[in-house]
Chain A
Amino acid sequence: MAANLTHHHTRGCRTTFRQERIERRNFTHSPCSRLCYGHFQLVAASFLTTFFWLGSGSEQTRGVRSVRGDMNIFWISVGSGIAVAAILALSAVAFTLEYAVSRVVNLAHGEILTIGAYAAYVGENNFHQNLYVCAVIATVFGALGAMALNFSLIERFRNQKPLSTLIATLGASLILQNVVLIGFGGASVSYSFAQGSILHVGPFLWTVLTIKVMVSAVVVAVLIYLLLQKTRLGKALRAISQNRELAQVSGIPARLVVMQTWAVAGAISGFAGFLYGETIGTITPTVGNGFLLLSITAAVGGGLGRPYPTLGGAVVLGLVMSIASTYTSSAYQLVIAFGFLVVMLLVKPNGLFVRGRISTVRA
């Protein structure tokens, strides 16, 4: 008895840290918070219904399975996998571009996505803008965020070890995430774009909005390709990613090119954040967090610092996850992604589409 009382009092007298934890539970646990990582299943579910928040994706799927049979749900899953893989590809390429020019594993990358998503949310709700203007707003704010990050942090840690820079970006991620939290609150917010009608495309089921998302992702990917291959910035960028000092003595304004690359990467991230928010319907300040892990996995799996292998890695990861999620609960998405990452790192540490390997104990 006495012991029980003690326990009660302990909770009462512990004011600070514990209370925060309890408070955090209250505002982060909404049904929508599960959307952050259960997105694949949910995307699949949202094709079949027009409103956004559903209790649990897996229940929906089970219902569908009994009606349409296993093969159908498989293709629907793959279809949603393609949709998310398209967004993931953009995010991962942005992440890889940042690594290419600055040799930094930017753990604040997820927050740039979040900034893009929230910028679009502000644009949509407060100014009653349409889809395309929101996309532009997200892109601009993503670019500004990434440039600010590069200017205030990455460049200043340039001469330090990669690990120090990684830790610094962790700090930045913490700061940005909580600034968004203070600005918008912890509860999830929703976009209100219409999903449009459901279309059968081959074996897949997609909404009009999803198709728009995928088309725009492909367009952006093509733009990235043109930027890298056909412009002077792309050429300079590739030179710097090989050897910044050498590029600099060859007359390339390295600082400027790096800043421009961060702007481009930020713009892509902001746009990807917007697309992601649009696809899952709701966003929270931690929306970028889970997606960061997927982006890292895609980039490392494909080839860190190399845009095209990264693109391939994202597509493979998206498909692996969507197929796997047909057979397991959506909650295990990240577990699967992590398994994929570990296998990639152990078997092909430099990436699926890159030859060679990381050196540990070797000259």
Chain B
Amino acid sequence: MTGAALLEIRDISKSFGGVVAVNRCSMTVREGTVVGLIGPNGAGKSSVIDLVTGFEHPDSGSVRFDGTELVGRRPDVISRMGIIRTFQSPREWRDLTVIDNVRIGRSNLARESLFRSLVFARGLRREEAKETGEIRAILKDYRLDDVRNSRAVNLSGGQKRLLEFARIAAARPRLTILDEPMGGVNPVLGERIGEAIRDLKRAGSTVIVVEHNLPFIEKTCDEVVVMDLGSVIAQGAFGDLRDNSRVVDAYLGNDDE
């Protein structure tokens, strides 16, 4: 519970065409924790994720991951440092098979060089075949093994969510950022997703979850960060925050959530 700081966000700000989305936001995420990021709609939660993962660049401030500055780096570079994120709706490579989707999560990038793919094709295929057992174990875990050879686009919405978690499990990131993993998910699948997040933690990943579903946050997260109007207004254990008047105001005063 008391690991070193893995992600340090210091005073980042971002405005889109005059509208301030993130305003001098700072937070620290310690290694090995599951942190819930909550706040009313428009609080800037998704913007913070975009800024951390390089999909947007902050106007000012700094983001450090394990001591390395992330600001100014491309999303793929940040990902290679060990950060995987999701989006509000599940994204899959629609015309690839389910097993290929997970393989891409697992795959080491050197294997995808044009030269090696051309010259050492057979060796690469053997390497991949060796991994198949591991990949299928992950697929079984997420109940996708039966559909592993069909196109990802044919999956149901819930299966696509699970595929996303299977991919993350294969990628084994140091930091996982989940943007509303419970959006539009039924209760039974919700249970499974909570389980998946605990699995990620057990496997050694630090997790940030953006979510509106407070009971889910309470059950899953070690710590909660509350945002409103683009900045962090509170950080701490869920139970402590329930009585924080600013948090209650943010949720009840500005929004109907």
Residues of A within 8 A of B (CB): 355-356, 361-363
Contact = CB atoms under 8 A, between A and B. Distances in A.
A363 B87 contact: yes
Given A355-B17, A356-B17, A362-B55, 10 more contacts: A361-B55, A361-B74, A361-B75, A362-B50, A362-B56, A363-B46, A363-B50, A363-B55, A363-B56, A363-B87
Contacts of A362: 50, 55-56
Contacts of B75: 361
9 contacts: A355-B17, A356-B17, A361-B55, A361-B74, A361-B75, A362-B55, A362-B56, A363-B50, A363-B56
Contacts of A363: 46, 50, 55-56, 87
B-side interface mostly:
loop
Contacts of B55: 361-363
A261 to B, nearest CB: 29
A46 B46 CA distance: 60
Nearest to B16: A356
A363 to B, nearest CB: 5
Contacts of B50: 362-363
Contacts of A356: 17
A358 to B, nearest CB: 14
A255 to B, nearest CB: 28
A213 B75 CA distance: 52
Nearest to A361: B75
Interface in B68-92: 74-75, 87
Closest 5 CB pairs of A and B: A362-B55, A363-B55, A363-B50, A361-B75, A363-B87
Contacts of A361: 55, 74-75
Nearest to B47: A363
B44 to A, nearest CB: 13
A203 to B, nearest CB: 40
A172 to B, nearest CB: 26
A361 B17 CA distance: 19
Nearest to B88: A363
Nearest to A362: B55
B68 to A, nearest CB: 21
A278 to B, nearest CB: 44
A58 to B, nearest CB: 46
A231 to B, nearest CB: 31
B42 to A, nearest CB: 15
Interface string B85-103: 0010000000000000000
Interface string B1-41: 00000000000000001000000000000000000000000
A144 to B, nearest CB: 39
Nearest to A356: B17
Interface string B49-76: 0100001100000000000000000110
B5 to A, nearest CB: 26
B23 to A, nearest CB: 19
Nearest to A359: B55
A317 to B, nearest CB: 26
Contacts of A355: 17
Nearest to B179: A363
Nearest to B49: A363
Nearest to B87: A363
Nearest to B76: A361
A355 B75 CA distance: 24
A362 B17 CA distance: 16
A361 B56 CA distance: 10
B30 to A, nearest CB: 26
A361 B76 CA distance: 10
Q: Which of A355, A356, A362, A363 has the most CB of B within 10 A?
A: A363
Nearest to B54: A361
A236 B87 CA distance: 33
